[in-house]
Amino acid sequence: MATTEYPALERTPPRFKLELAAALSGVIVYTCANGFMTGGLGVAGRQLGLGDVEVGLILGLGAFVGVIAAPGWGYASELWSRRKLMLLAVPMVALGPAIMVVVTGQFVMLSAAVAGIILGAARLIQAVFGAALIPVAQGYVADITQPSQRVRGMGGLSAAISFGTLSGSALLWLTGRLGATSGFAIISALGILACLIVLAYLPRSLALAPRFLARKRHCRSPISGPIS
């Protein structure tokens, strides 16, 4: 009886693990912020005099804008350096919670209306630039993995999204007695750490021309030649 042989799994080199962790670090911070803001922003908003409708509008508008921005970031990652996009997006994801620290910590005395506007702007910054991290990370995983490792790489991306969301919920519970301001500060610090990891370990992705040449070779038809 004939038996089917499967190729042995390749051992993952340490450098690849560092590069993959760097590509996913921003995703973890972004989803952690989303998980925390779901509850933390409501508590902080009520302390500032905002109603549930205003807080819901801030959260919902950020999510809506993120959905619209994500395809554009995916297209941009095909045209520009993914490393530069990551280095642009991760600090901005850290900036949003940092602004919320100043507002919710009441380091500056603001009216409820002004505080709501600033919180909304901070949420939009976090959402718009955070929307870049998942598509750019997907592109990086495709760039730095061999075909035999690609499923594992994409699985790591899915795990990073879930882990970040879970971490945000856990952070909300851990900072319950300290207040939402401490949670925003921790997320901002994690964003700075992720930026340093990206700067140190994230490799330059494939150049634009090789990526399109590879896609063109992939699209060749064995019967009629290149697909126009």
Output the average pLDDT for the chain. 83
**Which of 99, 122, 118 has its CA nearest to residue 50?**
118
In this prediction, residues 18-32 reach a mean pLDDT of 90
Q: What is the pLDDT of residue 221?
A: 43
In this prediction, residues 150-175 reach a mean pLDDT of 90
Q: What is the pLDDT of residue 11?
A: 45
Per-residue pLDDT reduced to its tens digit, 121-153: 999 999 999 999 999 998 888 887 788 778 887
Q: Which of 12-16, 83-87, 159-163 has the lowest mean pLDDT?
A: 12-16
- Quick check: 223 pLDDT over 60? no
Coil, helix or strand at residue 225: strand
**pTM of the entire predicted model:** 0.79
- One-letter identity of residue 183: G
In this prediction, residues 80-86 reach a mean pLDDT of 89
Q: What is the distance between the alpha carbons of residues 63 and 86, in angstroms, rounded to a whole number?
A: 20
- Quick check: 115 pLDDT over 50? yes
- Quick check: 9 pLDDT over 80? no
**Which of 33, 14, 22, 20 has its CA nearest to residue 194?**
22
- Quick check: 93 pLDDT over 50? yes
Q: What is the distance between the alpha carbons of residues 70 and 120, in angstroms, rounded to a whole number?
A: 19
Where does residue 65 rank: exposed (0-12), middle (13-18), buried (19+ CB within 10 A)?
middle
Q: What is the pLDDT of residue 121?
A: 95
Q: Which of 35-44, 69-78, 92-101, 137-146 has the lowest mean pLDDT?
A: 137-146
In this prediction, residues 95-103 reach a mean pLDDT of 94
- One-letter identity of residue 77: S
Q: What is the distance between the alpha carbons of residues 159 and 171, in angstroms, rounded to a whole number?
A: 18
Q: Name the one residue in this structure whose structure tokens are 């992705």.
A: 205
In this prediction, residues 92-112 reach a mean pLDDT of 90
